[in-house]
Amino acid sequence: MAHALVSPNAAAYSSGRDISRTLESARNQVEERFLEGGTVLLSVMDVLNRLLNSLESVTTALDNKEASDTTADLRATVESLKALPVTEENRQQALVSLAHTGRELRKHVSDMQETMRYLRTFAVTVKITGAGLAEFAGFAQEILERIYSGTDEVNRFATHLDSLDKEVKLAASFGASVSKGYAETVPAVAAALRDDAAKIAAHRKDLGVIAREVGAIARDVQSKVGSTLSALQIGDITRQRIEHVQATFSSLDDFFAGEDGARLDASARQRLQNVIHHLTAAQMRDMCANFQRDSENVVKTIASFGHDMREILKLRDQMSGQSGEAGGNFMRALESSVSAAHEIVKQVDTASRQADQVSQSTIGTAAKLSEAIANIRAVKTDIHYMALNTNLRCSRLGEEGKSINVVTAELRIFAGKLDDSADAIVNGLPALEAAAGRVAPAAGAGAGNLGESLTSAVGNIRSAANVMEDELKVLAENGREVATKVSLLIGKLDFQHDLGEVLGRCADLLEGIAGSDIEDISDLAETIAPLDRTIFKHYTMVQERSIHRDIIPAAADSAPAPAPTETAKAENDEDLFADALF
């Protein structure tokens, strides 16, 4: 009879162990799925951090003060370029002034050459007239040689002026062509450079706006990932509650195998088993409801990642597009403008070199002219005194020296004219030097400096563009990886599929075994108190204890329940992440 009563109980417990095995399978799936989900989430968090670091690098490159300074330098260079037409016009006016001054001096040189021709004529006349006088023969030859010497000095003087005039004309001719070219090209080139600089600045500004938008979305996703990691505690909670249900069945088995359980008859065993089935069914049903609610929120949050990722990829493509095609066009346009500017700079350099050469030649010519004037004055003085001596000798010779005396007097008069021309030339030399100074380019304003400024500015802009390009490539790669990780995450964390169904089937099975009515075991309260305390100690959540006490009221000597663990708040995100990963 006793054996007959025990057999149905053994069969019932066999189904309980079957339920435990089903629960173990569900627990393993929960643990595996949530562990995998937590790993994927952490990998998403890692790539998000890299994405934000890339954005920071992009922002740093965009905010690069050197790049801003370079753009400012380019604008300053453009202003210098715009000033070239005025500079060249001033140089042309200085060349005109120099040419005019040279022509004025050339008039005086021509007068000196004419005077020297007269002096040669008089000297030859003296030689012929005094041919019969032995004491005048050597003197006449000497005076003639001094006149020839003076003539050579005047001719060299004229040659210097002629050479200077040719240089001035060449520089003026080239400068006129350059000046016309400036009028046609400089405004357009300067405007193109200025527009290119403005476009680059605007381009960088647009990239900065997009980078901030990407950063805002990425940080929002980062916050969502953190929240999702925290919400994954539902997996740990579900796993624990499954273990608690399993422990309940195990505790019941141990109780029936012990002394207290052995004292129960078959009816008491059946009633206790029914209550335990109702208890575990209630725990499973509550667990399923909580799992359904919380995992649904997790899935909704993860699903929202898809929209965020599409926005990030769209913005990333905008940045890559602007930096790639548009940015490249900006740089090509800038370099084309700079190439045109360099052609102008070459012309400036050639004109400047010619102007500098003219200026230096003029200053050198002025020095040579001063030296030549001194020599001419010396020749004039020699001729004057030689003629004077001749007059004195002729006076002693009386009638015989009268004809020579007339000629030498003319020599003295025309030699004096050399002084007038020399004085005029000496007075004109400062004006010649001043005009030469205005022709020479100002110190520090040469084309070389302008060309170096252009090259340096474009080199710096190109360098900044390359840095930006590299950073955007890294950003694009990280953005693509984030999108891939999130797509994987959405597939991995579909908890409703399979898991929810498995847990629901377990709850349905327990409810089916328990039946609709709960047996009365109030008469067994004292006997089952040890079992009650053992099961109750397993719980870590208020909900579990409340459900337990709704079905199995507390005995008079039951120990107070420990403080609920779920009310303890994690102090920081790292605690939440650790809990989420079990």
Per residue in 484-520, pLDDT (tens digit) is 776 766 666 666 666 777 888 888 888 888 888 999 9
**Close Cβ partners of 243 (under 8 Å, ≥ 6 residues apart):** 27, 538
Residue among 305, 309, 298 nearest 494 (CA):
298
Residue among 506, 486, 489 nearest 29 (CA):
506
Distances (CA, A) of 32 to 39, 41, 234, 484: 11, 14, 13, 21
C-beta separation of 199 from 143 below 8 A: no
**Sign of the torsion angle spanned by Cα atoms 317, 319, 320, 323:** positive
Residue scoring higher pLDDT (306 or 519):
519
Q: How many CB atoms lie within 10 A of CB 574?
A: 9
- In this prediction, residues 522-532 reach a mean pLDDT of 91
Q: How far apart are CA 211 and CA 315, in angstroms?
A: 8
* pLDDT for res 26: 80
* pLDDT for res 531: 93
Per-residue tokens: 16: 């309980």
- In this prediction, residues 442-456 reach a mean pLDDT of 60
C-beta separation of 127 from 378 below 8 A: no
Residue scoring higher pLDDT (194 or 278):
278
C-beta separation of 130 from 394 below 8 A: no
Q: How many CB atoms lie within 10 A of CB 163?
A: 12
Q: How many CB atoms lie within 10 A of CB 526?
A: 11
**Reduced DSSP (H G I as helix, E B as strand, rest coil) percent helix, strand, coil of the chain, to 5:** 90, 0, 10
- In this prediction, residues 141-157 reach a mean pLDDT of 82
pLDDT tens per residue across span 354-392? 767 777 777 777 777 777 777 777 877 877 777 777 777
- In this prediction, residues 262-286 reach a mean pLDDT of 92
C-beta separation of 37 from 421 below 8 A: no
pLDDT at 532 over 90: yes
Q: How far apart are CA 220 and CA 102, in angstroms?
A: 80
C-beta separation of 236 from 582 below 8 A: yes
**Close Cβ partners of 385 (under 8 Å, ≥ 6 residues apart):** none
What pLDDT band is residue 142 in, cutting at 50, 70 and 90? Answer: confident
Per-residue tokens: 153: 């000095």
Torsion of Cα atoms, 319 then 322 then 324 then 329, to 10° = -170
Asked which of 42-51, 242-251, 306-315, 456-465 is least confident by mean pLDDT, the reply is: 456-465
Asked which of 87-91, 206-210, 396-400 is least confident by mean pLDDT, the reply is: 396-400
* pLDDT for res 10: 40
Distances (CA, A) of 239 to 65, 233, 431, 438: 55, 10, 105, 94
Asked which of 67-71, 208-212, 257-261 is least confident by mean pLDDT, the reply is: 67-71
What pLDDT band is residue 216 in, cutting at 50, 70 and 90? Answer: confident
* pLDDT for res 183: 67
**Close Cβ partners of 468 (under 8 Å, ≥ 6 residues apart):** 58, 61, 62, 204, 207, 323, 327
- In this prediction, residues 297-324 reach a mean pLDDT of 72
Q: How many CB atoms lie within 10 A of CB 39?
A: 13
pLDDT tens per residue across span 5-50? 333 444 444 455 667 777 888 888 888 877 877 787 787 778 777 7
Residue 152 buriedness (CB in 10 A; 0-12 / 13-18 / 19+): middle
pLDDT at 573 over 60: no
Q: How many CB atoms lie within 10 A of CB 284?
A: 25
What pLDDT band is residue 4 in, cutting at 50, 70 and 90? Answer: very low
Residue scoring higher pLDDT (99 or 345):
99
DSSP result, 307-355: HHHHHHHHHHHHHHHIIIIIHHHHHHHHHHHHHHHHHHHHHHHHHHHHH
* pLDDT for res 576: 42
* pLDDT for res 528: 92
Distances (CA, A) of 127 to 136, 415, 579: 8, 17, 131
Highest mean pLDDT among 88-97, 216-225, 501-510: 501-510
Angle among Cα 138, 144, 147 to the nearest 5 degrees reads 145
* pLDDT for res 153: 81
Q: How far apart are CA 66 and CA 71, in angstroms?
A: 9
What pLDDT band is residue 542 in, cutting at 50, 70 and 90? Answer: very high
Asked which of 140-154, 308-322, 495-509 is least confident by mean pLDDT, the reply is: 308-322
Q: How many CB atoms lie within 10 A of CB 89?
A: 14
What are the two backbone dihedrals, phi and then psi, of residue 93, each rounded to the nearest 5 degrees? -65, -40
* pLDDT for res 88: 72
Per-residue tokens: 162: 């002629």
* pLDDT for res 132: 63
In the block, which residue shows the tokens 């009650």? Answer: 532
Asked which of 199-208, 443-452, 515-524, 566-575 is least confident by mean pLDDT, the reply is: 566-575
* pLDDT for res 169: 80
**Close Cβ partners of 547 (under 8 Å, ≥ 6 residues apart):** 279, 282, 283, 286
Residue among 365, 291, 253 nearest 13 (CA):
253
In the block, which residue shows the tokens 């010497």? Answer: 149
Residue among 4, 30, 22 nearest 512 (CA):
22
pLDDT tens per residue across span 394-447? 776 666 667 777 777 777 787 778 778 878 877 877 877 777 777 765 544 444
Per-residue tokens: 564: 């609920």
What pLDDT band is residue 279 in, cutting at 50, 70 and 90? Answer: very high
* pLDDT for res 449: 65
Q: How far apart are CA 62 and CA 44, in angstroms?
A: 26
C-beta separation of 167 from 441 below 8 A: no
Q: What is the mean pLDDT of the chain?
A: 75
- In this prediction, residues 275-304 reach a mean pLDDT of 87
* pLDDT for res 73: 67
Q: How far apart are CA 164 and CA 437, in angstroms?
A: 14
Per-residue tokens: 6: 């025990």
Q: How far apart are CA 308 and CA 49, in angstroms?
A: 15
- In this prediction, residues 261-283 reach a mean pLDDT of 92
pLDDT at 568 over 80: no
Residue among 209, 213, 294, 232 nearest 44 (CA):
232
